[in-house]
Structure 1
Amino acid sequence: MTKIGRPLVMPVEDRCKEIYAAAEKLFGEKGFANVTMAEIATATGMSKKTLYVHFADKRELLNSLISSSYLWPQQTADFKNEDNPVHALKQHLNMIAEYVLSERHLKLCRLAIAENYGLDGMAETFYQMGIANSRQSLINSIQRIPDAQHKVQLEAGLLADMLFGAVIGKLLIDALMGAQNTVIDLLPIQQKIERVVNAMFQANE
């Protein structure tokens, strides 16, 4: 009888996802410094040699894990195709809020902050992928709204900062500092997004 198990040939993307999941769980439970590549390999059912094919060391794996968590190509493509740019901005903000305030993202934030001091490049990776790219995608959504629909005449970057701060910023800080429950109710955030965006932009005629 044929034994059912791991496929002999697994796509690189799927293999990396398994490695990320195992590493994320172990880093969260034991801390980055206390986890070995051998433990991660065991958790995935792969050999340590296979792990090193994809990642030179544990530091590269953590950087790659943080970077991979911020890839939203399909959703952002959908926003670009939305006929109503104000509605698209609301959807975009809702997507960012759902991700940024998720339990997984909060754990990755804490991990990145905790391990930053001993890891060269961690701060740059976290900033570029977690903050700069997300902010730029929000600016792009705002720039697709015609000037005639702007109620507040400010540059797109400032509007993006105001929107993020108004609907997500405080909740994110509270959650990271432990002043907020891990599970965050998104309904009040969605309602706030509606109010704030409507205050800044005129709906399509």
Structure 2
Amino acid sequence: MTAAATSTSRNKSHNTPVRSRTPAAAPIMVPEGAAAIDARLANLLLAAEASFSRKGFAATTMDDIAHAAGMSKKTLYKMFDSKSDLFRATLLRSAGQFRFWDGPALTGTPEQQLKLWLKRVLDSAFSPKEIALHRLIVGERVASPDFARIFSDVAFQYGPEGVIDCIKRVKLRPHLRKLPARMVAEMIIGSVLGIDHFKHLIDDSHRLDPRMLKKRIDVTVATFCESADGD
């Protein structure tokens, strides 16, 4: 079902974008045979995600999802044996989406590329779709702790990978250079998210200021990266 995805690295001059092959997003565990119908599967997962986010796991039926996806329930059950399997696949799809860069070729200095990655993280984390899904995960945590565990495991494993790749090419502050790249990436992501993500989860009226988010990214990169001083 998955294929290698194309990402961008840079040559030693840091001035020329280079296309490279990187692993694809985290594989979704689906019943045998479903991998041959990528387009239909993608449409189904989007429909399922929307249905679960709108009604919650318990209240959503397979009839609801089949109708939203424009397919028969018989076809749906050929692809997934149960609502739980479908929900799990939906979580894996969402949590693994940051594993590779799927936008235009990254250009500029390593610090500028890091800023682009961080903007992507913020854009997704604060999107209505992701906020709805995160609320769903929290709401289902007590009744279905395994779903929350799956989502968090995949998100924390693959979510920082793009930022980690950028960190390996920037010049970090001296006291950060001996720390694992993943630890630094998680600190950077936490810094740019701040408390706004939590506010967004609990308060529909909370509004984000794009200028402040950009400023937060700039300050965070300057705080962590020595070579960003002259950026």
TM over 0.5, shorter chain: yes
Q: Over residues 65-122 of structure 1, what are the superposed CA-to-partner deviations in whole Å (9 max), with x where a residue is unaligned? A: 121123245526867x656211111111111111111111111111112123333531
Give 1:66's aligned residue. 91
Give 1:35's aligned residue. 60
How much is the aligned-residue C-alpha RMSD, in angstroms?
2.6
Is 1:198 matched with 2:212?
A: no
Q: Measured at CA, do residues 178 and 22 of structure 1 come closer, stay the same or move farther in structure 2, by a change above 3 Å?
A: same
Question: What displacement does 1:34 show?
Answer: 1.2
Secondary structure at 2:91's aligned position in 1? helix
| Cα distance between partner residues in 2 of 1:197 and 1:45 | 45
Give 2:175's aligned residue. 153
Q: Name structure 1 gaps, 5 residues minimum.
A: 1-10
Secondary structure at 1:34's aligned position in 2? coil
> 2:98·2:162 contact (CA, 8 Å) conserved in 1?
no
Paired residue type of 1:140: D
Give 1:139's aligned residue. 164
| Cα distance between partner residues in 1 of 2:192 and 2:124 | 13
Q: Which structure dedicates a bigger proportion of its chain to strand? A: 2
Question: What displacement does 1:137 show?
Answer: 3.3
Question: What displacement does 1:64 show?
Answer: 0.9
> 1:59·1:119 contact (CA, 8 Å) conserved in 2?
no
Question: What displacement does 1:136 show?
Answer: 3.7
Identity among equivalent pairs (%):
27
> 1:139·1:157 contact (CA, 8 Å) conserved in 2?
yes
Paired residue type of 1:190: K
Give 2:80's aligned residue. 55
Give 2:13's aligned residue. none
| Cα distance between partner residues in 1 of 2:70 and 2:160 | 38
Give 1:127's aligned residue. 152
Shifted more, 124-133 versus 48-57: the winner is: 124-133
Paired residue type of 2:195: K
How many equivalent pairs are there?
Answer: 190
Give 1:95's aligned residue. 120
Paired residue type of 1:141: C
Give 1:8's aligned residue. none
- After TM superposition, the score normalised by the length of structure 2 is 0.71
Paired residue type of 1:196: T
Question: What displacement does 1:43 show?
Answer: 2.5
| Cα distance between partner residues in 1 of 2:163 and 2:99 | 13
> 1:116·1:123 contact (CA, 8 Å) conserved in 2?
yes
